[in-house]
């Protein structure tokens, strides 16, 4: 019984010292791992909304050092020094924030796991602090929990861009209509239902959520009868000027 209580206490202590966030991405595990370990990609998504990141060095090997500067929306710079502990491509990363002179005075260890879940990759981020007080300090001072969630959302957008670069084609057409009206035709379900699909196809049903991570899921009927389903994951919607999304699975017939 004493041994059981000790195990429970240790588990509770770890929970009190950690921040744990899990998110699934519609991208291959190798690609997600590459986005997390290639400085060219990391600089494009690392940090909460409104932050930019400069990578000074990133030596992805056990004992290698990763130095970066995050600039916040208010212009303040946050310098970080990180040391890699474990690299198990493409399934696991372990690294530790080790402050030095001029960097943010926080210490914690991060474990990132990349798990295949069908056609998705599930990423779990565990940030483990030396004490519950140290965790609370980072949560209150830096908004760490919301920051991690925003950072992972930005990773999702960047992964969509990486996938698009691998297999991209561009179609351009001009319309004799105001931009705001064309944007509504693409982003309001009742308008989209009137024109979506090739000639002769009719709209059967659809759901449209343009928030990052939301889905555009639709069904249209071909002239010869079969229903065709399609689904896109939304990456970004900038009012009146830009929508971006990626197919989340192949279209199917019924």
Tell me whether residue 100 is in a domain.
yes
Tell me, what DSSP letter sits at residue 210?
-
Q: Are residues 197 and 150 in the same domain?
A: no
Last residue of a domain, one of 166, 193, 217: 166
- Cα 176 to chain centroid distance, Å, stands at 36
3-state SS, residue 165: helix
What's the domain count of the chain? 2
Q: Are residues 8 and 130 in the same domain?
A: yes
Tokens 């696991």 belong to residue: 92
> Which tokens go with 165?
């670069």
What is each CA distance from 241 to 49, 159, 181, 223, in whole angstroms? 20, 21, 11, 33
Residues in the chain: 254
Residue 193: which domain range?
179-253
On the CB side of 216, CA atoms within 13 Å amount to 24
| Residue tagged 């009868």 (tokens) | 225
Task: Tell me the whole-structure pTM to 2 decimals.
Answer: 0.62
Angle between helices 144-166 and 29-37 (to 10 degrees): 120
Residue with tokens 């105001």: 178
Question: Could you tell me if 153 and 188 lie in one domain?
Answer: no
Please check whether residues 47 and 6 belong to one and the same domain.
yes
Residue 43 is predicted with a pLDDT of 95
**Cα–Cα distance measured from residue 225 to residue 80, given in angstroms and rounded to the nearest whole number:** 59
Residue 172 lies in a domain: no
Residues 67, 132, single domain; the answer is yes
**Shared domain check, 207 and 143:** no
When the pLDDT of each residue in the chain is averaged and rounded to a whole number, the result is 85
Residue 215 covered by a domain: yes
Q: What is the pLDDT of residues 170-198, one digit of tens each?
A: 778 899 999 889 988 888 888 888 998 88
Give the integer Cα–Cα distance in Å for 14 and 49: 29
The pLDDT tens digits for 78-135 are: 999 999 999 999 999 999 999 888 777 888 999 999 999 998 999 999 999 999 999 9
> Which residue do the tokens 């084609």 mark?
169
Domain presence at residue 173: no
User: Stretch 21-45: mean pLDDT, rounded?
Assistant: 95
If asked whether residues 39 and 136 sit together in one domain, one would say: yes
Q: Which residue has the higher pLDDT, 9 or 151?
A: 151
Residues 162 and 202 in one domain: no
Q: Judge whether 191 lies within some domain.
A: yes
Whether 174 is covered by a domain: the verdict is: no
Q: Which one of 120, 137, 166 terminates a domain? A: 166
Same domain membership, residue 148 and residue 32:
yes
- The torsion angles phi and psi of 116, rounded to 5 degrees, stand at -75, 130
Q: CB neighbours (10 Å) of residue 193?
A: 17
pLDDT of amino acid 11: 44
What DSSP line would sit under 24-62, residue for residue?
A: EESS-HHHHHHHHH-HHHHHHH-SSTT-EEEEEEE--ST
**Same-domain status, 193 and 156:** no
Q: Which residues contact 61 (CB under 8 A, 6 or more apart)?
A: 84, 87
Q: What is the pLDDT of residue 10?
A: 41
**Cα–Cα distance, 230 to 252 (Å, whole number):** 7
User: Vertex 148, ends 87 and 138: CA angle to 5°?
Assistant: 100
Q: Is the pLDDT of residue 2 over 50?
A: no
Ranges of beta strands (E only) in 89-140 are 92-97, 108-117, 120-128
Residue 2's CB: how many other CB atoms inside 10 A? Answer: 6
Residues 96 and 218 in one domain: no
- Whether 171 is covered by a domain: the verdict is no
- Of the listed ranges 69-83, 103-117, 203-217, 233-247, the one predicted with least confidence: 233-247
The predicted pLDDT at position 252 comes to 52
In a domain, 125, yes or no: yes
- Looking at residue 207, which CATH number applies to its domain? 3.30.530.20
Do 240 and 129 share a structural domain?
no
């Amino acid at each position: 019984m004493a041994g059981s209580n000790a195990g429970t206490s240790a588990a509770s202590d770890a929970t009190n010292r950690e921040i744990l966030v899990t998110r699934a991405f519609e991208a291959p595990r190798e690609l997600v791992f590459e986005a997390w370990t290639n400085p060219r990609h990391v600089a494009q998504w690392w940090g909460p909304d409104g932050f930019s990141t400069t990578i000074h060095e990133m030596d992805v090997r056990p004992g290698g050092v990763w130095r970066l500067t995050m600039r916040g929306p208010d212009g303040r710079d946050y310098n970080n020094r990180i040391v890699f502990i474990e690299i198990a491509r493409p399934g696991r990363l372990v690294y530790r924030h080790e402050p030095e002179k001029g960097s943010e005075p926080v210490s914690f260890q991060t474990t990132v796991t990349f798990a295949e879940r069908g056609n998705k990759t599930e990423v779990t981020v565990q940030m483990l602090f030396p004490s519950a007080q140290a965790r609370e300090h980072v949560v209150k001072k830096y908004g760490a929990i919301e920051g991690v969630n925003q950072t992972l959302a930005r990773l999702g957008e960047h992964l969509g861009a990486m996938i698009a670069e691998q297999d991209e084609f561009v179609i351009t057409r001009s319309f004799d209509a105001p931009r705001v009206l064309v944007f509504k035709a693409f982003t309001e379900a009742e308008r989209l239902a009137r024109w979506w699909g090739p000639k002769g196809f009719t709209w059967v049903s659809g759901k449209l959520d343009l928030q990052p991570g939301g889905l555009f899921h639709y069904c249209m009927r071909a002239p010869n009868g079969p229903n065709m389903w399609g689904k896109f994951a939304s990456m970004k919607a900038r009012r009146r000027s830009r929508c971006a999304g990626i197919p989340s699975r192949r279209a199917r017939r019924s």
